[in-house]
Chains A and B, each alone.
Chain A
C-alpha cells in the first residue's frame, strides 16, 4: 500500500505492526474463551495490554516522524496520547503481577487521564482536506453539541448514579471518579470529529481505524462504569476484549498512518446532509426526553418552542441556499467582468499582431514600430492586470513591492490620465486639471496605475466632467479626482474598498469593472505610506477620491541648502524630497511638466551631486 515513487514502511516496521495487531486480537479472543482459568486470563491481560497499547502509540509517533506523511504533529500527539494510556496500563499490570492492590487514585490514573485531552488535540491536528479555521471550528462545535447531548442522554440513562459524589471517600477520589466520564465525553467529541471530518481521501482507512478504536474504548469505559456500580466487573472478562480490540484497531491505524497514501480527492466538497444533521440527532433525542417529562403549561410552552426552533432551522436552510445563489451570481459576474478587463488589452495585442502580419507591406517603418510598441505596452498592461488579480485574490496586496524614483507629479498625473479609456476622440468626457507641480519620490508605474484607476472610475460612473487636482505642499503630495456622477451611495462607502466589490454596480454588466481598482489603489497608496479616501466632491457634486502621500523630509533650512529650489532626496528608506519653491525660480530652472524620468534624474544629479540616490526598493508590510 505505497504511493508511486515513495517508499513505504520497512519490513521491520510491518512485522512490528502485524505482531501488535495479532497481540491485541489474540489477547482479546483469548479472554472470550469460556472457562479460561483466572491465571491464564491475568497473564493474557498482563502481556497484551502494555504491549498492544505502547506499541500502537509508538506506531503513531513513528508515523509522525516520516517526512512524507501529512499532519505529522497530529499523529505524534495522538501517538503520545496512546502511549500515555500504555504507561497507565503498564503500571496497572505491574501492580497486578506483583500481587499488590492498585492504588486509586494513583500514577496509573494520571497517565490514563492525560491521554484523553491529548487524543482530542491529536485528532484535531490530523490531516484534513481544507484546514480552514472556520470549517475546523464548525466541525468542533458540531461535535461538541452532539457530544454534550449524547452525554446528557447517557447521564440520565446510565451514568447519573455512577459518578455521584460520595462523601465517604476522599475529595481526590471523587474528582478522579468524575474525570473518567468527562474523559469519555472528550473521546466522544474526538470520535464524532473523526466521523464528520473529511480527509483528502474519499474514505480514509487510517481515520476509520482510529475512530473505531476510540469508539470501542468509549463503549468499554461506559460499560466498565456500569459494572463497577453493580459490582459485576471481573478482571479478564469480555470487557477487556473490547479494550484490547480497541488497541488492535489503533495499532492498525498507526500502521496505516505510516503508509503514504495516494491523494484521491483534493477539491472542496460541501458537507453532506447527514454530516450536518448527524451531530444534532443526539440533541433531538435529549430534547425529546426532556419534553416527555413535562406536563401542563410547561409542556405546551416547550412544544411551541420546538415548532419555532424547527421553523428557524428551516429558515437557516433556506438562507444557506439563498446565500449560495448570491455567491454563484457574484462569481459569474466576476468572471464576466474580469474577462472583459482582460479582453481589452488582449484585443490590441492580438489585433495589432494579426494586422501587422497581413499589412506588413502596406505600412511604413514608423507605423510598424508604433504597432509593435502598442503590442508591447498592452501586453505589459495585460501582465499587470493578471498579477494584480492574483494578488487581490490571494489578499496579498499589502506585500506589494514599490520602487520609488523621482518624478514630476503633474507629468505623472497627466500621463496616467492620457491612457484612460473613454477620453479623447470627440468624447464628451472632459478632464480638467488644477495642478501645481513638484517632484515626488514614488513608484511611477504604480502611482500612474493609482491615478488611472481613479480617473477610469470617474469617467465610467460620472456624467462627463472630471476634475483632477494635484499639488505638492510641505511634506505631502495630494491628488484628488472629482467627477459629476451620482457619487457612492452612503451604504456602499465602506464596501467599495473591498476586493471584487463593485458597490451599487455589482450587477451592472454594462459598466465594466472587476472590483479590484480601488483595493489595488489603496494598497499601492499604503505601500507609499500614504492614505486614500472618499468624500462627496465639493466642486462637481459627484465622487471625490483623494490620496495623500508623504513625499519629502526637509533636509535643512532653506538658506542652508546650496540650491534651495532643487529637489533633494536623502538616501534613507523614506522618500525625502525637497520640492521646488514656488516663486523662487532659479536661473536655468526648467518646468518638469511632461519631462521624462531620465531628464529629472539628470537634473537632480547635476545639481545635488551624490545626494540624489533614490531609496532602494522596499517591501512594505502592513
Chain B
C-alpha cells in the first residue's frame, strides 16, 4: 500500500458552493491520518468551494506546506512521523508561514490542548467529533482573514 489518492465520498465530482466573492477557490491543506476523517474534511471543504489537498502524515505535510504554502491548514495533532504541535511550532517560527492560518482539529479535545493551541498561535481549535458546519465556518473565516490581510 503506497501513498495514493483518497477514495470514498470525497472522490468524484460534486456541486460546490463558492467561497464568497473570491474568484479563486481557497486552497486548504488537510493533515489528518485517519482516512474516514480525512475524507470527511475533504468533502466538507470541497462542498464549500475550497480546493482541498490532503496529507496523511506530519513530516510530509510540513514539507508540502513549506514547498507551496496553502491558504489554510487543517491540522490534526496525533500524527505519524511528526506531531501536530511540532508542525504548528515550526510554522510559527518560520517567517514565511508565521501568519499562515491553521485550524487545529483533534480528538485530544481537552481544554488544556485548546490553550496550548492558542499559545502556539493556532487560528481555531476544533475538538473531535465536530459538526462539519463548524469546521467549514472556521476554515472560511480563517481564509477570509488571510485574503483580507
Contact = CB atoms under 8 A, between A and B. Distances in A.
A347 B128 contact: yes
A339 B4 contact: no
Contacts of A347: 34, 36-37, 40, 107, 128-130
A425 B109 contact: no
B71 interface: no
Dominant secondary structure of chain A at its interface with chain B? helix
Given A424-B56, A510-B83, A358 B132 contact: yes
Contacts of B83: 510-511
A348 B59 contact: no
A510 B57 contact: no
Interface string B34-68: 11111110011001000001111101110010000
Contacts of A426: 3, 53-56, 60-61, 64
A340 B77 CA distance: 11
A475 interface: no
Contacts of A377: 36
A512 interface: yes
| Contact residues of B: prevailing secondary structure | loop
Contacts of A349: 129
A421 interface: yes
A421 B56 contact: yes
B85 interface: yes
B43 A424 contact: no
Nearest to B110: A336
A431 B2 contact: yes
B60 A344 contact: no
Interface string B70-89: 00000001111101110000
A603 interface: no
Interface stretch (B5-13, B19-27, B138-146): B5-13
A345 B34 CA distance: 9
A408 to B, nearest CB: 16
Contacts of B80: 421-422, 427, 429, 459-460, 462, 464
B1 interface: yes
B37 A418 contact: no
A532 B62 CA distance: 36
Interface stretch (A3-11, A206-214, A360-368): A360-368
A227 to B, nearest CB: 70
A550 B43 CA distance: 43
A367 B37 contact: no
B118 interface: no
A130 interface: no
A328 B112 CA distance: 18
B85 A430 contact: no
Contact of B79 (A346, A417, A422): A422
B62 to A, nearest CB: 10
Contact of B33 (A352, A418, A421, A509): A421
Contact of A424 (B4, B53, B128): B4
Given A347-B128, A414-B1, A431-B1, A425 B9 contact: no
Interface string A421-439: 1111111111101000000
19 contacts: A336-B110, A339-B107, A340-B107, A343-B128, A344-B37, A348-B37, A354-B132, A355-B43, A366-B12, A418-B1, A423-B3, A425-B38, A425-B56, A426-B54, A426-B56, A426-B61, A429-B3, A431-B2, A459-B80
Interface of B: 1-6, 8-9, 12, 14-15, 17, 33-40, 43-44, 47, 53-57, 59-61, 64, 77-81, 83-85, 107-110, 128-133
Given A354-B131, A422-B79, 7 more contacts: A352-B40, A362-B15, A367-B12, A377-B36, A419-B35, A424-B56, A431-B1
Sorted nearest first, the 4 A-B pairs with minimum C-beta distance are A427-B56, A343-B107, A348-B36, A422-B33
